[in-house]
Amino acid sequence: MADTAEEIKIESSEEDLQRLEKALNFSNTMKTFNLNKNNLKVKTQNLLSYSTAGGSFTVNQSLISFMNFVVSSGKTEISLLDKNDIPIHIDDTEKFLDEVSSLYFEVVNDYYNEYQKLRSSRKIEKVLEI
């Protein structure tokens, strides 16, 4: 009984060591992956800003949907709350919608490409081009 237990212990410790090493290496990769992913997210949030007529707007799906509704309703000018809750007069809603949509597609598409690049490689030095 004692022999078997010792045998199992020796066998599992070698295996465990290898598995642990693999897991820890993967954990390091994941840490770097998560850090870079978070930084990409923050970059995207900072880039999704559009300023006009003295106001600044956070560009997101809600703003685009709302503006789409405004344009579809035939309103050519409106007052809109900006990111600081200041009312801003938009005198060409179609142009505004066009510009915020373009910005959104461009920035999120860049985010997508960079994210794909990040997740497709386990070698961080390859992703960062070191």
Partner 1 sequence: MSKGIVIFAQNNEYINYAEQACACAGYARKNLSLFDEICLITNTETLEPDETLINEYFDRVIVSDSFQPDNVRLFKDTSDKLTYAPFKNMGRSDVYELSPYDETLVIDADYFIMNNVLDQVWDSDNDVMINCKYRDVSGRHKENIEYIDNFSIPMYWATVVYFKKSDFAENLFTLVSHIKYNYKYYYYLYNCSGNLFRNDFAFSMALHILNGSVAFDVPSLPIEYLNNSFDLDDIYRVNSHNDIIMYCADAERVTNHLLSRFTNMDIHIMNKKAIGRFVDDFLSNGEKV
Where do contacts with partner 1 occur on this chain (CB under 8 A)? Answer: 31-32, 34-36, 38-39, 42-43, 45-51, 53-56, 58, 83-86, 88, 110, 114, 124-125, 127-130
The distance between the two most distant Cα atoms of the chain, rounded to a whole number of Å, is 86
- Residue number, 66 or 114, with CB nearest to partner 1: 114
- Residue number, 14 or 125, with CB nearest to partner 1: 125
- Residue number, 33 or 66, with CB nearest to partner 1: 33
Euclidean distance between CA atoms 57 and 86, whole angstroms: 10
Smallest distance, partner 1 to C-beta of residue 116, A: 15
Q: How far is CA 101 from the centre of its chain?
A: 17
Smallest distance, partner 1 to C-beta of residue 45, A: 4
Q: Residues 59, 50: contact at Cβ < 8 Å?
A: yes
Euclidean distance between CA atoms 17 and 6, whole angstroms: 16
